[in-house]
Amino acid sequence: MTNNSIRIPSGQMQDVLHKLFLKHGFSEVKARILAKVHTESTLDGVNSHGINRVPLFIEYVEKGVVKVDAEAELSETFGNIERWDGHLGPGIINALKCTNRAVELAKLLGMGMVALRNTNHWMRGGTYGWLAADAACISIIFTNTKANMPPWGGKDSRIGNNPFIVSIPREEGHHVVLDMAMSQFAFGKIHDYKLRGEKLPYPGGWDEHNELSDDPEKILANERGLPIGYWKGSALSMILDMLVTLLSAGDSTRTIAAKEFETGISQVYLCIYPEIFSDRNLQEKLLDEIVEYTHDVEPMHPGDKTYYPGERAWHNRARNLKEGIPVNKEVWQRVIKLAEA
Amino acid sequence: MTNNSIRIPSGQMQDVLHKLFLKHGFSEVKARILAKVHTESTLDGVNSHGINRVPLFIEYVEKGVVKVDAEAELSETFGNIERWDGHLGPGIINALKCTNRAVELAKLLGMGMVALRNTNHWMRGGTYGWLAADAACISIIFTNTKANMPPWGGKDSRIGNNPFIVSIPREEGHHVVLDMAMSQFAFGKIHDYKLRGEKLPYPGGWDEHNELSDDPEKILANERGLPIGYWKGSALSMILDMLVTLLSAGDSTRTIAAKEFETGISQVYLCIYPEIFSDRNLQEKLLDEIVEYTHDVEPMHPGDKTYYPGERAWHNRARNLKEGIPVNKEVWQRVIKLAEA
């Protein structure tokens, strides 16, 4: 919470967004789903890919980049792998459909995969990890994006930050959900540091002299982000782009980067159904052991705390459900205006 | 090549290693396979997980940590997922078997997975990525390890560097093979910097004051490595440990860390057979586009060069096949002694 934020009850946010999406041509059902997903991402504390992104999403809808009525369709089947075509429909609707389908395939066969091409930005990747985990599945899900980081050794941005999600179901919804982009810092986060007049805690991109920098202003001027682990994240980003492109027969970051807007992206949804391994209690025990071991560790510096992936989202959700969701005042005003326009 | 290395023809290395493994109780067939894999890793320039690790492997064999005659066996089948028990056999033999089995499952069903428990160190993880790619499969393969990095925010090493391999087949064996551990630098590499009296190019671990350090001596004194991307690699390491443990019903890093030696580790081998998507030419075209785009980029600094994952291994192989494999003289003397002992 900063001075510039207010707390909005989640029910109110969902109602405003529902109205907004209806106004912009979405069906009753889809408007409701989109409102729910954007609200849930914000509830979990991921405002950057929840409420904050709504104006940009609406801009894409108005420009026809996102096709309001289009929906992903099965195009080909190969064993336990399916290829779907997103027909440039809304990324959230397509991603939910493909996650649910990968869950279905996993429950039939132990493991299933859906590769999706021609889709749009899915907002928060973690949404689909939580969904798969709620359906008792392990998931490995990833996407390509426009180019926003230089490949290691190169000068121009030619690789995407390609979010990578892994989720594992746990009892009472305390799932483990990793949702990480290949960039050390999201550009949204770098922008926040700039607004606060602070440096990044670690280098996060390249300045105009081709030097690594922790100065948000210099990094934003060039839009050349730093991959996690330098050459390692660069390589991982490349190979994720190769996987989504090959498996979906869709567009790669190269093709996406050549478009005016980030659209027609490619994604993979892989689900595994661990309950076919039968002993749910053993699974919980093994998982609890790892969570405790990594969690209950002496802090490196006083006040440090170690979290398991997804733990903070879950804490935020509980708190924000009770107290309302912290939202930037200007962002909320823009959303209200869009809903009333 | 440094002053302290000599070039050994690959045939000679393989013969010496074959003799060495026979001397230490391996069957004719297994000694031949182990000699081949160690030689190939060294040919590709990964001495740390090829020839340099042979003395440690033999020590583990002599101590009975690695069971010479044990071999992985199928324990359970669930749809397109199989669980195997490694019976503490040699990691290379078990890993080859499980990779080949995952390839078979993928060719039957499009995609297949083998989860292996109770195995030993597989030496170079990339070996199994190259093998799957040679068999025309995409692979995603990963392992847990002993604890050698603190989880983000914590003081003690409680997560492993958990190597993660992804491979994609290309024509003429120019496969894309990513082989990366979750640590920014391998401890072997940090040791090399120490021997040369150099600092690391980037921070690689924690010093005795719990500060990030680029001083190899200080990092080695504590054995607390830095995960790639700080909190991100820490989270990825945790979740990879969870996946291998759950899927194989095997030991986690916690349990492995409590043992006297690193043994009884858990691994996952996932293969996808892209030729069932039928159009091999399209696959090659899509892949070539990404390789060219990320590869043929203006360098960040004069002399910089961008590689695709696996490219340097392939260059090293071609050169070392011709000129002999560069090996540290003392390491080679130790190996010769072990073969003659």
Do A264 and A152 belong together in one domain? yes
For residue A338, pLDDT beyond 90: yes
Subunit contact A298:B154, Cβ cutoff 8 A = yes
The CATH number of whichever domain residue B213 belongs to comes to 3.30.60.50
3-state SS assignment for residue B260: coil
Subunit contact A150:B297, Cβ cutoff 8 A = yes
Is B206 in contact with B183 (CB distance < 8 Å)?
A: no
pLDDT band for position B1 (50/70/90)? low
Residue tagged active-site, from A18, A24, A49, A121: A49
Task: Tell me the mean pLDDT in the region B219-234.
Answer: 96
Is B88 in contact with B265 (CB distance < 8 Å)?
A: no
Chain A, nearest residue to B149 by Cα: A294
Q: Among partner residues A154, A236, A282, which is closest to B298 by beta-carbon distance?
A: A154
pLDDT of residue A311: 95
Question: Into how many domains does chain B fold?
Answer: 4
Nearest-angstrom CA–CA distance, B72 and B120 = 11
Q: Among partner residues A249, A282, A306, which is closest to B154 by beta-carbon distance?
A: A306
Portion 201-230 of B in contact with A at CB < 8 A: 202, 206, 210, 228-230
Each residue's pLDDT tens digit, B275-298 = 887 688 888 999 999 999 999 899
The CATH number of whichever domain residue B118 belongs to comes to 3.30.1370.60
Do B137 and B53 belong together in one domain? no
pLDDT band for position A278 (50/70/90)? low
pLDDT band for position A125 (50/70/90)? very high
The CATH number of whichever domain residue B17 belongs to comes to 1.10.1530.10
pLDDT of residue A277: 77
Do B161 and B42 belong together in one domain? no
B12 touches chain A (CB under 8 A): no
Each residue's pLDDT tens digit, B298-328 = 999 999 999 999 999 999 999 999 999 999 9
Do B233 and B261 belong together in one domain? yes
Contacts 24+ apart (CB under 8 A), B13-19: B13/B38, B13/B39, B13/B42, B13/B51, B13/B325, B13/B327, B14/B39, B16/B335, B16/B336, B16/B339, B17/B51, B17/B54, B17/B335, B17/B339, B19/B339
pTM of the model: 0.97
Subunit contact A151:B297, Cβ cutoff 8 A = yes
Q: How far apart are the first and last CA of chain A?
A: 28
Subunit contact A184:B109, Cβ cutoff 8 A = no
Our CA-based measurement puts residue A283 at a distance from the nearest CA of chain B, in whole angstroms, of 6
Do B221 and B251 belong together in one domain? no
For residue A79, pLDDT beyond 90: no
Quick one: what percent of chain B has pLDDT higher than 90? 90
Residue B270 burial (C-beta neighbours within 10 Å; 0-12, 13-18, 19+)? buried
Each residue's pLDDT tens digit, A211-248 = 999 999 999 998 999 999 999 999 999 999 999 999 99
Q: Is residue A330 part of a domain?
A: yes
Each residue's pLDDT tens digit, A249-263 = 999 999 999 999 999
Q: Is residue B68 part of a domain?
A: no
Predicted complex ipTM: 0.97
Is A296 in contact with A311 (CB distance < 8 Å)?
A: no
Average pLDDT, chain A: 95
Residues of B in contact with A158 (CB under 8 A): 293-294, 297
Average pLDDT, chain B: 95
Subunit contact B246:A287, Cβ cutoff 8 A = yes
Residues of A in contact with B206 (CB under 8 A): 300
Q: Is residue A98 part of a domain?
A: yes
Do A119 and A141 belong together in one domain? yes
Residue to mutate among A148, A157, A232, with most B CBs inside 10 A, is: A232
Do B245 and B138 belong together in one domain? yes
Subunit contact A176:B239, Cβ cutoff 8 A = yes
Structural domain including A177 reads: 73-182+228-276
Nearest alpha-carbon partner for A178 in B199, B200, B210, B152: B152
Residues 6+ apart with CB under 8 A from A202: A184, A214, B230
B151 touches chain A (CB under 8 A): yes
pLDDT band for position A1 (50/70/90)? low
pLDDT of residue B2: 67
Do B176 and B272 belong together in one domain? yes
pLDDT band for position B79 (50/70/90)? confident
Each residue's pLDDT tens digit, B45-73 = 999 999 999 999 999 999 999 999 999 99
Subunit contact B243:A168, Cβ cutoff 8 A = yes
Do A130 and A108 belong together in one domain? yes
